[in-house]
């Protein structure tokens, strides 16, 4: 009976994204890295506070925009950071050509 009902289960929205600890992936990765760094370097309070500040900055920058907005911002302004990791098919954004 449960397998038949699983076919009709939908997320709240069609564009619902996966989450870690209640945060979207693009917010959770920097926060988890900073908390992990704080725990490993014996600077627990500093790691938690810096993770909270980074989370707040990312959240306020994304207000009203989706997660892909942050990826697009990284693509155009930090091409060396994610040229082959996130956007594998697209060319590097530092090679811009004007079409006449």
Question: What are the tens digits of pLDDT across the range 46-88?
Answer: 999 999 999 999 888 888 887 777 777 777 777 776 656 666 6
Q: For residues 92 and 72, state if they share a domain.
A: yes
In a domain, 4, yes or no: no
In a domain, 56, yes or no: yes
Tally of structural domains, the chain: 2
Q: Could you tell me the CA-to-CA distances from 20 to 24, 26, 51, 70, 95 in Å, in that order?
A: 6, 10, 15, 17, 35
Helix (H) or strand (E) holding 30: helix 25-40
Closest CA to 52 of 69, 32, 67, 70: 32
Q: For residues 58 and 72, state if they share a domain.
A: no
Specify the pLDDT at position 82: 60
Checking if the pLDDT of 1 tops 80, the result is no
Checking if the pLDDT of 9 tops 80, the result is no
Specify the pLDDT at position 16: 65
Domain that holds residue 83: 66-100
Q: For residues 59 and 72, state if they share a domain.
A: no
Checking if the pLDDT of 45 tops 80, the result is yes
CA 81 – CA 50 distance, rounded (Å): 21
What percent of the chain has a predicted confidence (pLDDT) above 70? 63
Specify the pLDDT at position 13: 66
Specify the pLDDT at position 38: 93
Q: For residues 73 and 51, state if they share a domain.
A: no
Structure tokens at 15: 């564009």
For residues 34-42, average pLDDT: 93
Secondary structure (H, E, C), 58-77: HHHHCCCCCHHHHHHHHHHH
Q: For residues 59 and 75, state if they share a domain.
A: no
Q: For residues 36 and 70, state if they share a domain.
A: no
């Amino acid at each position: 009976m449960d397998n038949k009902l699983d076919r009709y289960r939908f997320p709240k929205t069609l564009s619902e994204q996966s989450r870690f600890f209640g945060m979207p992936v693009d917010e959770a990765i920097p926060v988890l890295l900073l908390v992990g760094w704080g725990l490993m370097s014996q600077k627990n309070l500093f790691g938690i506070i810096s993770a909270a500040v980074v989370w707040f900055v990312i959240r306020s920058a994304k207000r009203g925009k989706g997660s892909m907005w942050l990826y697009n911002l990284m693509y155009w302004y930090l091409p060396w950071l994610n040229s082959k990791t996130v956007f594998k098919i697209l060319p590097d954004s530092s090679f811009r050509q004007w079409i006449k």
